[in-house]
Amino acid sequence: MSPFDRLVHDRVRLADLFEYEYVLEMYKPKASRRWGYFALPILHGERLVGKVDATAERRRGTLTVHAIHEDVPFTPEVTRAVHEELHDLASWLSLIVEGPR
């Protein structure tokens, strides 16, 4: 999901209602980042369950997945759904997924 989506835009409300911590870290020094430059919130069903740090590297033709952060332990179903969404995103961007599985 986009870090600019209305669901996650109000960080205080996000923490109060969903017990989900999120900060867009692109303006932080690299050494201070916890989730990555432009980590995307992961929404599964009705729950925010983690963050994915990925970069579309168009010249290389890849969607490079640097990390998948699990805020709650992923079930096999959630893991499968996250990977499917990453592949769908890569396909939509005419890229292939590269990185952690």
- Mapped onto helix, strand or coil, the DSSP state of residue 81 is helix
User: What is the strand order of the sheet 96-98 is part of?
Assistant: 40-44, 47-57, 62-70, 96-98
Range 30-43 burial, b when 16+ CB lie within 10 A, else e = eeeeebbeebbbbb
State the pTM of this model: 0.87
Confidence of residue 101 (pLDDT cuts 50, 70, 90): low
The Cα 1–Cα 41 span in angstroms is: 6
- Write down the pLDDT at residue 7: 86
- Write down the pLDDT at residue 4: 87
The Cα 50–Cα 40 span in angstroms is: 8
Rounded mean pLDDT, 86-98: 95
Rounded mean pLDDT, 32-59: 94
Rounded mean pLDDT, 21-29: 91
